[in-house]
Amino acid sequence: MNYVVWLVTAIHLLSVVIWVGGMAFLMLVLRSGLMAVEPTARVTLQGALFRRFFRTVWNVMPIAVISGLLLLILSYSHQPIPWPVMVMQTGGILMAAIFIGMFMVPNRRLQAKLASGTATAEDIVPVRRLVLLNLAIGTIILICVASL
């Protein structure tokens, strides 16, 4: 492996670890951890944590996609692309599209309601579902990529 491929792979892996790992933390740890908090404060806290995490994803998501495309060029411009890499590129683009859609519609609605003090637990549901969907796609990608 040459140094450029090594470096780009490291950047790719770090960005997907932050993205997928952050979603796993939100879904597996934070949700149950917040059950101890009183319901109104829970919605406010979840909304604030989502806002912070989504800001991070806005930084790492383009890095994951660009480094992935760069790896495609560096490693597969002269040979056929294996199926796990096909799954990864399709899944990665799908995850990016789902994230942007989720950020623009249900998340904006949630943040506006939080700002006006009218947010309820119901407003969290569509955001959480789409994060869960992205976590599932990310997990499938990782399982497929493990066969490389």
Q: What does the binding site for ligand HEM look like in residue numbers (CB under 6 A)?
A: 9, 12-13, 16, 20, 64-65, 68-69, 71-72, 75, 85, 88-89, 92-93, 95, 138, 141-142, 145, 148
User: How far apart are CB 125 and ligand HEM at their closest, in Å?
Assistant: 24
For the four alpha carbons of 64, 108, 101 and 38, in that order, the dihedral sign comes to positive
3-state secondary structure at position 12: helix
Q: How far is the CB of 100 from ligand HEM (least distance, A)?
A: 13
Report the distance separating Cα 137 and Cα 143, nearest Å.
10
The residue among 84, 82, 83, 90 whose CA lies nearest residue 65 is 90
Q: In terms of CB distance, is 22 or 138 closer to ligand HEM?
A: 138
Cα 34 from chain centre = 21
Rank residues 13 and 100 by Cβ distance to ligand HEM and give the closer one.
Answer: 13
61: nearest Cα among 14, 24, 10, 4: 14
The nearest distance, CB 129 to ligand HEM, in angstroms, is 19
Query: Min. distance of Cβ 40 from ligand HEM in angstroms?
Result: 35
